[in-house]
Amino acid sequence: MWSRPVRRAASQSTRQRVRMASTKRSSVNGKGALDGVYKTFMKSTPVYVTTVLVAALVGEGVYGAATNYVWEANNRGRLYHHVDWSKFAAEDEEEEEEEAEEEGEAEDAEEEEEGAEDAGEGIHEYDDEDA
């Protein structure tokens, strides 16, 4: 006679424990630790969408910076902006100066030849006009 109510009470307490374990602790024990954050960022759809977009942009910036740092660390000294171009500039300048001098000399020689031809032509033309 007493065994049936005892079994029923025991099974009800077991069900209650299972139900309590499946529910959120914040709803059982009051407000949770992130209740303020939830109320701030989830109070309306525009605020939520703005929060998601800002979080995505910040996350992308952090991820990009971390990726660049790892890439730079693993490839130090092998990237274009790591090369010391002053080592190469001195040789290039000397070659450019030599090429410029050679071009200048060649241009001077051509101008002298053209000047001589022009002078000769001018005389002939002048002579032709007088005649």
Report field, pTM of the whole predicted structure over 0.95: no
Q: Can you tell me the distance from the alpha carbon of 131 to that of 126, in angstroms, rounded to the nearest whole number?
A: 9
Least confident range from 6-10, 22-26, 111-115: namely: 22-26
Q: What percent of the chain has pLDDT over 90?
A: 26
Provide φ and ψ at 35, rounded to 5°: -65, -40
Give the Cα separation of 9 and 2 in Å (integer).
11
Q: What is the pLDDT of residues 66-100, one digit of tens each?
A: 999 999 999 998 888 888 888 887 655 667 777 77
What pLDDT score does 50 carry? 96
Domain ranges of the chain: 1-30, 31-83, 92-131
pLDDT at 3: 73
